[in-house]
């Protein structure tokens, strides 16, 4: 379950970042976003392979069987929205992997390697949060909007994942401290309001997703499903 949950997180966010290819605001970001997407896809492949066959799991499961958090499936929106998603998620992933690396979990070796990649993702997200937050009036407003809009998906990050020996409460405190520091340094305001929808509790981990996710899977899985049994 743990490998599947973390693998789905990485797979789905990688897919969303892949949608940016050819649309980024500046060439350097074409490289950076693709780079992060590739790192995540690499992590997803290792994790899903621990859980079964990577392609069967990615292309032949339906929406209700995916275990990713809802945060990573959120549509890209504008660049600030994407960066807010990256800030929330990469901070979480970095804290989680760093801890996981010290446990005796079978995921520890992967976590140790991935923590290095994720530290880079986190730095990228933080640097852009600062630039957008403390850039122009427009970028400030957009960045604040991205942070606000995605805040309600952050509570789910700290729902315990069965099989992972992690102190989730401490993880949550560290995440909150880190994210707060960056947001405030960026002259932005930490969103208030609930960190989850009223009807959810670890919904993504239980296979309950948001509406855009089904469409994302339809696109991702279409070709593979059109040729049953084919190899590529």
Partner 1 sequence: MATAHKAPDVARDGAAAAAVVTDITELEAVFDAAVAADERIEPRDWMPDAYRATLVRQIAQHAHSEIIGMQPEANWITRAPSLRRKAILMAKVQDEAGHGLYLYSAAETLGVSRDELLDKLHSGRQKYSSIFNYPTLTWADVGAIGWLVDGAAITNQVPLCRCSYGPYARAMVRVCKEESFHQRQGYELLLALSRGTPEQHAMAQDAVDRWWWPSLMMFGPPDAESSHSEQSMTWKIKRHSNDELRQRFVDICVPQAESLGLTLPDPDLRWNEERGEHDFGPIDWSEFWSVLKGNGPCNEQRLTQRKQAHDEGAWVRDAAAAYAAKHSDHDKDRRPAAPGTPAEATA
Q: Please report how close the Cβ of residue 228 comes to partner 1 at its closest, in angstroms.
A: 9
Q: Is 97 exposed, middle or buried (0-12, 13-18, 19+ CB in 10 A)?
A: buried
Shortest Å distance, C-beta 16 to partner 1: 9
Burial of 167 (C-beta count, 10 Å sphere; 0-12/13-18/19+): exposed
Q: What are phi and psi of 201, to 5 degrees?
A: -155, 105
Binding site for partner 1 (CB under 8 A): 11, 15, 18-19, 21-31, 34-35, 37-38, 41-42, 44-45, 48, 54-55, 58-59, 78-79, 130-132, 134-136, 138-139, 142, 219-220, 222-224, 227, 229-232
Give me the least distance between CB of 23 and partner 1, in Å please. Answer: 5
Nearer to partner 1, 58 or 157 (CB): 58
CB of 162 or CB of 228, closer to partner 1: 228
Decide if 9 contacts 28 (C-beta within 8 A): no
* Cβ proximity to partner 1, 11 vs 107, nearer residue: 11
Residue 221 token pair? 């899985």
Give dist(CA 128, CA 47) in Å, integer.
28
Give the nearer residue to partner 1 in terms of CB position, either 15 or 152: 15
Contact at 8 Å (CB) between 185 and 225? no
For the bound state, the minimum distance from the C-beta of residue 192 to partner 1, rounded and expressed in Å, comes to 24
């Amino acid at each position: 379950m743990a490998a599947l949950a973390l693998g789905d997180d990485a797979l789905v966010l990688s897919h969303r970042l892949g949608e940016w290819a050819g649309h980024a605001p500046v060439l350097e970001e074409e490289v950076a976003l693709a780079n992060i997407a590739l790192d995540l896809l690499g992590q997803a492949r290792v994790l899903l392979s621990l859980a079964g066959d990577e392609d069967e799991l990615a292309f032949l499961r339906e929406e209700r069987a995916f275990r990713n958090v809802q945060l990573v499936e959120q549509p890209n929106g504008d660049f600030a929205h994407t960066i807010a998603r990256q800030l929330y998620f990469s901070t979480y992933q970095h804290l989680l992997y760093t801890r996981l690396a010290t446990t005796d979990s079978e995921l520890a070796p992967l976590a140790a390697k991935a923590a290095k990649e994720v530290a880079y993702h986190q730095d990228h997200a933080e640097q852009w949060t600062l630039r957008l937050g403390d850039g122009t009036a427009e970028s400030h407003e957009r960045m604040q909007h991205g942070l606000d809009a995605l805040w309600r998906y952050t509570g789910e990050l700290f729902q315990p994942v069965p099989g992972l020996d992690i102190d989730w409460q401490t993880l949550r405190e560290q995440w909150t401290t880190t994210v707060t520091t960056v947001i405030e340094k960026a002259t932005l305001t930490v969103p208030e309001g609930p960190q989850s929808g009223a009807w959810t509790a670890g919904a993504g981990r239980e296979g309950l997703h948001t509406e855009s996710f089904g469409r994302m899977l339809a696109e991702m899985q279409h070709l593979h499903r059109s040729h049953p049994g084919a190899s590529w």
